[in-house]
Amino acid sequence: MRIGLLGGAFNPPHEGHLELARLALAHLELDELRFVPTALSPHKEDPGGPAPQARRQLLDLALVGLDPRCRVDPLELERGGRSYTVDTLEALAEREPGTQWILIMGSDQLPGLPAWRRPERVFALAAAAVAQRPGAPFQVPEVPGLHLVDRWSGAPGELVPLPTTDLDLASTTLRDRLRDTPGEDPAGLPPQVLSAIRSETLYR
């Protein structure tokens, strides 16, 4: 099994996340793509917003109509606390031995990889696929075991470029717009997600 892992707070989930998933599915020959919502990000202060389970429900709604290979894996929400990728990968490797894992991310995350917890262990367990985002150059960081390739073979440690995504969306900006202009519908949210945010009066 070749499985992509798209992690994040998804606070809220937006079209940029969905486009990243579509790129990964189109170019990586995945059997499955799992969205992995964090309980608490280890690299950012808690920005507030809905409780983790409410974020998970918004993510479930965002995936309606997306490729059937996509689903939510609640592993980090169930574990609680700060969500470290290395812990998640070790748990997945134990739970599903023999699976080939690849992390899906935007190029804005590349500079921070060396500061991840045990990055050498992360890339002993998984590969990474990276789509360039506007304003974030594709620069390969110095991480032991991580090396650039043209095509993912299924092996860990490989860094695979994905096509550029032109969607310049950020959850932080969307949260601010939802809070500061409650009468306007910000672009970039799936309609079913925006409807749930409005009906549940989230991000106020």
Query: To the nearest whole number, what is the mean pLDDT of the chain?
Result: 93
**Model pLDDT, residue 61:** 97
**Model pLDDT, residue 119:** 97
For residue range 143-201, list pLDDT tens digits in order: 999 999 999 999 999 999 999 887 788 899 999 999 888 878 889 999 999 999 999 99
**Model pLDDT, residue 196:** 96
Which tokens sit at 26? 């189109």
Which tokens sit at 155? 């092996």
pLDDT grade for 45, boundaries at 50, 70 and 90: low
**Model pLDDT, residue 46:** 64
Q: Per-residue pLDDT for 26 more than 90?
A: yes
- Cα distances from 109 to residues 7, 58, 88, 129, in angstroms, run 11, 23, 18, 11
User: Which structural domains are found in the chain, ordered by start?
Assistant: 1-85+175-204 (3.40.50.620), 107-164 (no CATH)
Distance of CA 88 to the CA centre of its chain: 13
**Model pLDDT, residue 40:** 86
